A and B are shown apart, each in its own frame.
Chain A
């Protein structure tokens, strides 16, 4: 093999390896906060469900007062839990995204992976 060919092969291997490294970093990063991301997705679903239930009951606030109050109590609890998980997740995400210099391909890979996780978490209910 001519020296120039050796250099090209070497560079290709280095580039491929570095791509793989970034993908691995992204996968590891997402894995590190997948549990809390799942929790956030499930809390999101529950907030929308509760809101929908309250909305339907509000057509008659007098007859449904007890049920509405009960759902509102749960809604307050879910809101508190949502804000707490959001705090933790926001910091973890910001730390992860600012800790590496990602290319636009890496970003695309991150977006696909994180969205796949959110979808998976929502379907797990």
Chain B
């Protein structure tokens, strides 16, 4: 039998204190305390939907040429990453890893309270999209962003505590605010308002770019001095000098131009289709970066990845694309090289016509090759597990009336994209080859220099 007389007695005051603490805890605002779920427990659907909208808005917003578009994609992508990365195991903030970013401390989630990272992502991306296209954003597109944010929130908020919803939205928006402040100092802030960055005088030399269309000024001549996300992407990755200019028929340069000329004269219908496919599209392109993001979005959807892997993939791609355009544009205005069409009409055949329009900026190196070179390294690292193989069909341009194109791997994709500029008659082969090299080096830097979380789904 139990002896009642021997049981220990709890002093009344201590008992009162314990009961008091219990009541105080149960009355706190965030009761009951629940842990935030990991980012990988959420679907990536709202995020991939946003990137489809970014493409559409890029097409529709004046001033978004390839460099401006790459920058917008870049900042939107790192904003989303920072909004969700507290929910990804072992994910280190980019705040300490990107060039000049640590001067803009990001908000820290409160300890011991719950966040919904999908809701934070939804709020952050919507706000950053408006910031990036802001002054040229058409009202209909502003409404599309707001409608998407609202529709996503309704879906994501099901069975979520109101305090968690409000806290997550506030966190996501404060991340966007800080990253927008960071973006203002990179040299590209609101560049869509004056993308030609005048005044700029093209050097007057036989080897130099001259207008190839009604657009008499070259695009964004100062873009190469923008701040990259990784300093090494500019300091350690620059193309060598291009082939030495000469109008002599025996020169290497003349031979390169002749090669472009002969290619265009003898293009197969397949090569013409390839030139148009990667062009990307007159009047309605979301630029080469948009095409690469569309490919990434398709892969993420096919692989049915979670918000965790999608966020890392978009961040990697966004950083690589932004920096690829800065490095590429630096080379373009360091060398200001004449386009094949101008050289050929001057020295080979005055009636020469390209397959697609020559864009208004110098030749060396090719922007498409730089950006797709960078993109191919990100895709290879994220999806091929080292083998490099990834049979893949790009369906992203079916909606614009192109046929689908299939590839064995991302190297082949990048090669075709680079060659398309030769078939189009708008780049020398060395523009494409060196552009691919620069891009791939940038992609590798982004993969290796940044500490990305491992084993994400």
Contacts and interface: CB of A to CB of B under 8 A. Distances in A.
Nearest to A41: B401
A43 B398 CA distance: 12
Contacts of B60: 83
A121 B283 CA distance: 21
A20 interface: no
B356 to A, nearest CB: 8
A104 B403 CA distance: 18
Contacts of B406: 111
B56 A89 contact: no
A97 B283 CA distance: 28
B27 to A, nearest CB: 47
B398 A111 contact: no
B439 to A, nearest CB: 26
Interface in A1-54: 37, 40-45, 47-48, 50-51
Interface string B388-409: 0001010100111111101000
A122 B276 CA distance: 14
A82 B400 contact: yes
Interface in A50-103: 50-51, 55, 58, 61, 75-76, 78-79, 82-83, 85-87, 89-90, 93-94, 97-98
Contact of B214 (A45, A61, A87): A61
A75 B284 CA distance: 10
A95 B401 CA distance: 18
B393 to A, nearest CB: 5
B282 interface: yes
Contacts of B56: 83, 87
Interface in B18-64: 52, 56, 59-60
B399 A55 contact: no
Interface string B115-130: 0000000000000000
Looking at B59, B284, B301, the one whose CB has the most chain A CB atoms below 10 A away is: B284
Nearest to A116: B403
A40 B398 contact: yes
Interface string B339-376: 00000000000000000010000000000000000000
Contact of B284 (A82, A104, A118): A82
B398 A93 contact: yes
B276 A111 contact: no
Interface string B50-86: 0010001001100000000000000000000000000
Contact of A104 (B52, B391, B395, B400): B391
Nearest to B282: A51
B401 A118 contact: yes
A115 B301 contact: no
Contacts of B400: 40, 44, 82, 86
Interface of B: 52, 56, 59-60, 213-214, 276, 281-284, 301-302, 357, 391, 393, 395, 398-404, 406
Interface of A: 37, 40-45, 47-48, 50-51, 55, 58, 61, 75-76, 78-79, 82-83, 85-87, 89-90, 93-94, 97-98, 104, 107, 111, 114-115, 118-119, 121
Given A37-B401, A51-B282, A79-B284, 15 more contacts: A40-B398, A41-B402, A44-B281, A44-B400, A51-B283, A58-B213, A61-B214, A79-B283, A82-B284, A89-B398, A97-B302, A97-B395, A111-B393, A118-B398, A121-B401
The 7 closest A-B pairs by CB, nearest first: A44-B401, A51-B282, A40-B401, A58-B214, A41-B401, A86-B399, A115-B403
